[in-house]
Amino acid sequence: MTRKRWSADDIPEQHGRTAVVTGANTGLGFAIAAALARRGASVVLACRDSGKAAAAADRIRAGAPGAVVRTLPLDLASLRSVRAAARRLHDEYDGFDLLVNNAGGFRVRYSVTEDGFESTIAVNHLGPFAFTGLVLDLLTGTPGSRVVTVGSNGHRQGTIDPADLDPEPGAAYRFMPAYYRAKLANLLFSHDLDRRLRAAGAPTIAVAGHPGLAWTDGGRDMHWAVRAALDPRVNPLTLLVSQSAAKGALGPLRAATDPRAQGGDYYGPRGRTGHPELVTATELAHDADLQRRLWEASERLTKVAYLSDPIRKSEASK
């Protein structure tokens, strides 16, 4: 018996639902937002570049006539911007249904943000951690709401020490280990967030999805020759080992919309390419102690505290 392949046609009707998608002006984020809009969702494109966000909104409206598409300035490399975006969402919405933490990528060269964080961990983890915490009340007041974290197979090669999220500063920096570290942080966060939501009795679940190996704009500051070699429009051989952003978006989209999804689930291709299935993160990503230590470090660094650890709280009351 042939197993059915999940596709964009399986996305349920989304009328009446509002989704906030970070990094939605290009790549996976654009594909996710566009697919949700085509199924009737109102979408908010939370992006660093307002001009590119506006252009992306126009493209989505062109492909989904009548779609409600708004933009929100959000630079995840800046806690100041994160706080401003969260305030604006509170000003404009009483609640919303779906937060897709998609924005990410990596920096080929070492850099730090205005807050002093290594840029790759900041954009992939610390910024989304803070943003989620600052808008979580808008989700937990909405039955059936979800927080979706976009992960990566790269997390399988990641290691992390929450006491030192910048272990290779300056000339010692290597961009792929930094990226793998950040993507491991994504899954540690998603699993711990779901555990804390369940303990709080919230109607919100935390789930994750990965794109496999998809061609996106995530490595935009790589050398032009490397990007050209990896671009399927230039080198058709890359199509043998990668897939389009639209197909890569299916993993996060299934996490966001599949009515059978449960908190803690993780969807994506079983290999580099393919349709999304229920997959399993590494044992390290499920390490409860590592999750707790990363959460506490993230609270300290971002100064955003939410959903206290129910285990530690129980131990403290004894």
Catalytically annotated residues: 179
Strand partners, 42: 18
Question: What are the respective helix, strand and coil percentages of the chain, to the nearest 5?
Answer: 45, 10, 40
Q: Which residues are registered as beta bridge partners of 43?
A: 19, 69
Q: How many CA atoms lie within 13 A of 97 on its CB side?
A: 14
Secondary element (H or E) of residue 84: helix 79-92
- Tokens representing 249? 């978006």
Range list of H helices, 160-276: 175-199, 224-230, 245-248, 250-257
To the nearest 10°, report the CA torsion of 193, 129, 181, 116: -150
Spatial distance between the Cα atoms of 255 and 221, rounded to a whole number of angstroms? 29
CA 76 to chain centre: 11
